Amino acid sequence: MKVRISASLMCADPLRLEEAVRQLEDAGCDWFHIDIMDGRFVPNLAMNFETVRRIKQISRVPLDVHLMVEQPEQYLDQAIDAGSDIITCHAESTRCPIRLLEKIRRNNVQAGLAVNPFTALHQLRYLVDYLDLLLLMTVEPGFAGQKFIAAMHAKIGEARSLVGGINLAVDGNISTGNALAALEAGANILVAGTSAVFKKGGSLAQNLRQFRESLD
């Protein structure tokens, strides 16, 4: 499957967001990952739909919007109107995921579901037909810069067997140290945050290129 790097823009310097978007796009970043939080599903706030809309105006890179919110139903219209290309909601945040995923697809947006590290995968077998992407959190959601949970390596393999040929993303402390193992286990979308791209030293473009080279 095609391997894609989705740079997580909440890790960018907020005062230099436009520069980050332009640099990463020029350096061939595949997707932009945009984290939206409500302070309830997770104890933090991140980016917002106005930011999504503004990024859409200056970039042609697909926008991969990760909703870490309670009642994602309430935010879908805004996420769609802002120009999201992929909308990923958390399995833990809704009782009716099929309704949610169908609504996303009806609006010609790709439908994703995210699962926290603690969430078991078995129930997802009922949802595969409605999914364009499954996102495995490899840290607890809510903050950048946390440590990869080692047990997630085995979960990536399990998830790949379950979802067949759809996109399988990993999100949380993905770095040159663990990305190759994640790909080998079956992931094909790497959310690149603090340790992969937005680390200190080197330009974002250099970091992105080095990260990509480390995958060969």
Span between the terminal Cα atoms of the chain, in Å:
14
Residues of span 108-167 touching Zn ion by CB under 5 A: none
Question: Using CB under 6 A, which of 174, 189, 204, 205 touches ligand DX5?
Answer: 174
Identify the sign of the CA torsion 196, 197, 202, 205. Answer: positive
By beta-carbon proximity to ligand DX5, the closer residue of 110 and 194 is 194
Question: Using CB under 5 A, which of 12, 29, 35, 208 touches Zn ion?
Answer: 35
Q: Using alpha carbons, list the distances in angstroms from residue 142 to 35, 160, 171, 185.
A: 9, 24, 11, 24
Taking contact as CB under 6 A, which single stretch among the options 18-26, 76-84, 166-174, 176-184 is the one that binds ligand DX5? 166-174
Among candidate residues 35, 38, 85, 216, the one labeled active-site is 35
Which does residue 144 touch among ligand DX5, Zn ion, none (CB within 5 to 8 A, set by kind)?
ligand DX5
Residues of span 57-76 touching Zn ion by CB under 5 A: 66
13 is catalytic: no
Q: What is the rounded CA–CA span in Å between residue 191 and residue 35?
A: 11
By beta-carbon proximity to ligand DX5, the closer residue of 47 and 102 is 47
* Using rule CB under 5 A, residue 171 touches Zn ion: yes
* Using rule CB under 6 A, residue 193 touches ligand DX5: yes
Q: What is the rounded CA–CA span in Å between residue 88 and residue 154?
A: 22
- Quick count: other Cβ atoms within 10 Å of Cβ 112? 25
Q: Using alpha carbons, list the distances in angstroms from residue 184 to 11, 90, 150, 178, 187.
A: 26, 25, 15, 10, 7
Q: How far is the CB of 129 from ligand DX5 (least distance, A)?
A: 25
* Using rule CB under 6 A, residue 11 touches ligand DX5: yes
Task: Encode burial over 139-155: b for 16+ CB neighbours within 10 A, e otherwise.
Answer: bebbbbeeebbeebbeb
Residues of span 87-146 touching ligand DX5 by CB under 6 A: 139, 141-146
Q: Kindly state the tokens that stand for 123.
A: 């129930």
Residue number, nearest CB to ligand DX5: 193
30 is catalytic: no
Binding site for ligand DX5 (CB under 6 A): 8, 10-11, 33, 35, 66, 139, 141-146, 171-174, 191, 193-195
What residues act catalytically?
Answer: 35, 171
